[in-house]
Amino acid sequence: MVRGMTAALSGLAMVIGLAPAAASAEPDPVEPAWTYVEDFSEGFAGWEPDTDGLARDWSLTHVPAEEYPCWQGAGCLRYWIDGSNDAGIIWVVKRFDVEPGGRQVDMSFWVENPNRSEVNTWAVGAYVGVERPVGFPGQFTYVGHPHETVGWKQYLHSQELHTEGEVWVAISIAVDWEITREYLVDLVEIDFDAHEGG
């Protein structure tokens, strides 16, 4: 048994020893993984409000924690939509510049639902891609309904992609009932990792 283990370790050492020579034929290594964190204490922090234009009225504003129950820090984002057209998506979007290549993007964010209601099954969505989203059907990935929880809830989304150098990330809320609603969004965290085969 001891002899077998020694042989295995010896084999492992040979593999490790050969690795540098093999690596010389590989593409240049991509940048190391990095994480973006934003809690909107200072404002929009470069995120831009946008919409598909179908809601009768909407607003997307930065609000202070003194006036709204933000999840973390001094402020958060307030999504307000008049759903009386029974249609409409609003979102914030931000462009990130990364080294070209394959990326595994894992994002999370928090949404606050002020009350539980039958007319609260509005869709929380997320987008990670190489182009700015415009809101056509199916472009945002459905990640949950806010009515499942009263108060703050974390939503997750992951996407693999190949980029020439830019990645767009967006967080959306879509109308589902002909009423007016508001939600708060806070604390976005995004991991940009290289993935093999990129």
* Residues binding Ca ion (CB under 5 A): 39-40, 70, 72-73, 76, 186
Task: Using the minimum distance from each CB to Ca ion, give the nearer residue, 66 or 118.
Answer: 66
Residue 152 CB, shortest distance to Ca ion, in Å, is 11
Task: Using the minimum distance from each CB to Ca ion, give the nearer residue, 47 or 83.
Answer: 47
Task: Using the minimum distance from each CB to Ca ion, give the nearer residue, 67 or 118.
Answer: 67
Residue 182 CB, shortest distance to Ca ion, in Å, is 16
Task: Using the minimum distance from each CB to Ca ion, give the nearer residue, 55 or 184.
Answer: 184
DSSP label of 40: -
Distances (CA, A) of 167 to 113, 154, 162: 28, 22, 9
Residue 70 near residue 76 (C-beta atoms within 8 A): yes
Relative to beta strand 123-129, strand 141-144 is antiparallel
Residue 198 CB, shortest distance to Ca ion, in Å, is 32
Distance CA 72, CA 124 (A): 20
Residue 76 CB, shortest distance to Ca ion, in Å, is 4
Residue 171 near residue 125 (C-beta atoms within 8 A): yes
What tokens appear for 86 in the block?
């029974």
